[in-house]
Structure 1
Amino acid sequence: MKKSPIETVLGILVILVAVSFVHYAATKIDVRPQDGYTVSAVFLKSGGLESGADVRISGIKVGSVTGLKLTDDYAADITMTIRDNVKLPKDTTASVASDGLMGGKFLLLEPGRAKEKLNDGDKITKTKDFKSLEDMIGDVIFLATDSGDK
């Protein structure tokens, strides 16, 4: 059976595209184990946050969610690893945020102004629970229908 040069060129092109894709994915996806210190925070509503989700400050990834567990009073205890070069003040606030309507969830940290820093194993005590789209729509409807008459 005779092969045409077009089939050979097309085969090489497909292989090059596949290799390029694998190289791009390997350089963009951080699959190395996260070095750093571990802190945790407790939320009443975690909004579907998953292990491996980003931990961000001002949109920049500073760590990863490493564990989720249910507390005795049915809250979500979320453990995260923060890079060693990022020192969080003790009054840091943690909240669960979304990348958009269809985007994934991530943990947003808002550093406070305290001089004392969080250490390995500490808890972030200031948290804001996840507010879903349904919750926000309900709030708007409640405000729109509240006549203010009492």
Structure 2
Amino acid sequence: MKLLDRRTTSDLTKLLIFVVVTTLATGVLVITIGNLSFAPSKDYRAEFVDATGVVKGDDVRIAGVKVGTVQDISIVDRDRAMVTFSVRSDTALSRATHAAIRYRNLVGQRYISLTQEIGDGAQLQEGDTIPVAQTSPALDLTVLFNGFKPLFQALSPADVNKLSYEIIQVFQGEGGTLEDLLSHTASVTSTLADRDKVIGSLIDNLNEVLDHIGDRDDQLSQLIKTFRTFVGGLKDDRQAILGSLDQISELSVQTADLVSGIRRPFVDDVKQLRAVAGSLDRGKSELDRTLQVLPIKLQKVGRTAIYGSWFNFYLCHFQGRVRLPGGKSLPLDYNTGSDRCDLGGNN
């Protein structure tokens, strides 16, 4: 029992230590991610002509070091943005302090950069406002990147991101230099130069296509004229075409009514026609023989009819069966023996 109590106490102690360490680590992580600060601070305001993208919680930095956070953004005079921010109490701001909105990254996050300019060195009091003359809005990336659009179309996404970041740093006056930008531009130019064969081949193929089109300019012009005439004819006959569509619609309705009235006998006729077609198919050999013999028979009949409007028929042979009372049948096979039959007369 004592051994069990000792083991339980040891496990409970380990569990408590784990919970405390985990709680402390979570708290540090929350403070780090949330940019929380427990140091005393002072609130100031800055007026901007454009504060697009600035949100509550963004950093306030001096020389790249975070000294505060943005607390609120409001609109004043309908065309101005008033940004309220806090900085640590040990950070001194003067009336010559300049506030500028900078891009934190290419995702679009911003921060406010505070710099000390030459001028009145009197300190700002808590709650004072940095006037709009001493503030700068963020760089308009849309206008900037539109100017580089032809260059970006020839780059890979990784090169575009790298060059864009360098451009932002140069034009915001922080990190990087114009020399770095030019070196990256030279790298881009080298990349384009490495693809000169592909570009040259593309231009040659395009020239060949244009030559073929130029050789057939007459046919192309004639095709365009013919198509224009065709479209013009359709335009002139649009009323007739639309009218014919109405007539076709009425004809369809009338046809549907006609079929609906004779649907059942029509179906029966189709069934009987199928039966007739089946019978003809089964006796097609006999039908073929009859069609072959029929011209000969007609020729003989016509030859006989030239002597007058009468015909002589001779019975040469008779064959059949006579059904007797009681269901019995008697076969008959009779040959007349006429001399006419030996002369090739009709049977």
Runs of 4+ with deviation above 6 angstroms: none
> 1:14-29 alignment to 2 at 5 Å?
19=22, 22=26, 24-26=28-30, 28-29=32-33
TM-score (norm 1): 0.71
- 1:115–1:44 CA distance, 2 compared to 1 (3 A): closer
1:147 alignment partner in structure 2: none
- 1:122–1:139 CA distance, 2 compared to 1 (3 A): farther
1:116 alignment partner in structure 2: 122
- 1:53–1:34 CA distance, 2 compared to 1 (3 A): farther
CA distance in 1 between partners of 2:116 and 2:102 (Å): 15
1:3 alignment partner in structure 2: none
Matched length: 127
Stretch of structure 1 that moved more, 26-35 or 82-91: 26-35
CA contact (8 A) 1:34 1:63 kept: no
CA distance in 2 between partners of 1:131 and 1:88 (Å): 24
Shift of 1:88: 1.0
1:132 alignment partner in structure 2: 140
The secondary structure found in structure 2 opposite 1:64 is strand
Let me know the Cα RMSD of the aligned residues: 2.7
CA distance in 1 between partners of 2:37 and 2:136 (Å): 29
Give percent identity, aligned residues only: 24
Greater per-residue strand proportion: 1
CA contact (8 A) 2:31 2:37 kept: no
1:38 alignment partner in structure 2: 43
Give structure 2 stretches of 5+ with no counterpart: 1-17, 150-347
The secondary structure found in structure 2 opposite 1:137 is helix
Shift of 1:119: 0.8
Q: Which amino acid aligns with 1:110?
A: T
Greater per-residue helix proportion: 2
Q: Does 1:68 align with 2:110?
A: no
CA contact (8 A) 2:47 2:83 kept: yes
CA distance in 1 between partners of 2:108 and 2:138 (Å): 14
The secondary structure found in structure 1 opposite 2:99 is strand
CA distance in 2 between partners of 1:80 and 1:130 (Å): 17
Q: Which amino acid aligns with 1:133?
A: L
CA distance in 2 between partners of 1:103 and 1:71 (Å): 24
Q: Which amino acid aligns with 2:86?
A: T
- 1:32–1:57 CA distance, 2 compared to 1 (3 A): closer
The secondary structure found in structure 1 opposite 2:26 is helix
Q: Which amino acid aligns with 2:144?
A: M
The secondary structure found in structure 1 opposite 2:111 is strand
Between 1 and 2, higher relative CO (CA 8 Å, sep ≥ 6) is seen in 1
Shift of 1:132: 2.7
Q: Which amino acid aligns with 1:64?
A: T
Shift of 1:76: 1.0
1:148 alignment partner in structure 2: none
1:78 alignment partner in structure 2: 83
Shift of 1:135: 2.7
Shift of 1:60: 0.4
Q: If you compute each CA radius of gyration, which structure gives the higher value, 1 or 2? A: 2
CA distance in 2 between partners of 1:39 and 1:65 (Å): 10
Shift of 1:57: 0.5
CA distance in 1 between partners of 2:26 and 2:68 (Å): 24
Give structure 1 stretches of 5+ with no counterpart: 1-14, 142-150
